[in-house]
Amino acid sequence: MTNESALREQICLLARSLFDRGLTHGSTGNISARTEDGGLLVSPTGTSFGRLDPARLSRFDAEGRLIDGDKPTKEMPLHSAFYDTRSSAGAVVHLHSCHAVALSMMPEVDPDDFLPPLTPYGLMKLGRVKLLPFFLPGDPAMGAAVRGLAGKRSAVMLANHGPVVAGKDIEAACNAIEELEDTARLAMMTRGMPRRALSAEQVQAIVTKFDVEWDA
Ligand SMILES: [Zn+2]
């Protein structure tokens, strides 16, 4: 199997796993990954994460031209915004995951720190998560908002819509977005309770020990 066909299989396998666990539904969500030649593989528009076909993924060359496969997701500008601003990005995943969307509607959420500091892995895998405002689906302003962060965040939350996470490879991006949804779930589960989140000192200790990218 070539590296590219292995990557195609991996994208579809991980998307299917996210779908099977209810992390995105219907034909929502999109996923992309860098190929060895500097191009991209992208989930096609209107497809379900449960049924992506490795042979039909949209294939871009290093110059950003569509050279093979089906028409890509209409959220392409969102993916490009991460690749263009974060040289470390090897994959980008976007989901419509329930608890993250619910949390984005809560009035107390700080747009600069969408997730409260609840668990070490949430911090380690995501750093600080930026809550972006609501945009109409497909609005190019979404990509512009990500570019506005100048590559300083690997994860953003689109209000009333869903999270978008970049990672060094497809597995890292999927693991990180799962962490985002899980932390949002914990936040919703414990909302209004006198919960003990991690202290500022504990957060700092985690950031230092694990060299977390922490945009101040
Ligand atoms: Zn979406």
Look up residue 126 and give its DSSP letter: H
94 Cα: distance to centroid of ligand 1 (angstroms): 7
143 Cα: distance to centroid of ligand 1 (angstroms): 12
Task: Provide the CATH number for the domain around residue 60.
Answer: 3.40.225.10
135 Cα: distance to centroid of ligand 1 (angstroms): 10
Query: Which of 157, 199, 155 shows the shortest CA–CA distance to 176?
Result: 155
Under 8 Å between Cβ of 130 and 189: no
73 Cα: distance to centroid of ligand 1 (angstroms): 10
Is there a domain that residue 216 lies in?
no
Who contacts 37 (Cβ-Cβ below 8 Å, separation ≥6)?
61, 62
27 Cα: distance to centroid of ligand 1 (angstroms): 9
Catalytic positions are: 121
Is there a domain that residue 147 lies in?
yes
**Ranges of the chain with pLDDT below 50:** none
Is there a domain that residue 78 lies in?
yes
Report the relative pairing of strands 155-158 and 162-167 from DSSP bridges. antiparallel
- Tell me the whole-structure pTM to 2 decimals: 0.96
Domain housing 83: 3-209
Q: What is the predicted pLDDT for the residue at 137?
A: 85
**What is the total count of domains within the chain?**
1
Is there a domain that residue 214 lies in?
no
Burial 20-35 (b: 16+ CB within 10 A, else e): eeebbeebbbbbbbbb
Q: What is the predicted pLDDT for the residue at 214?
A: 85
Is there a domain that residue 215 lies in?
no
Q: What is the predicted pLDDT for the residue at 216?
A: 65
Say how far apart CA 92 and CA 151 lie, in whole Å: 13
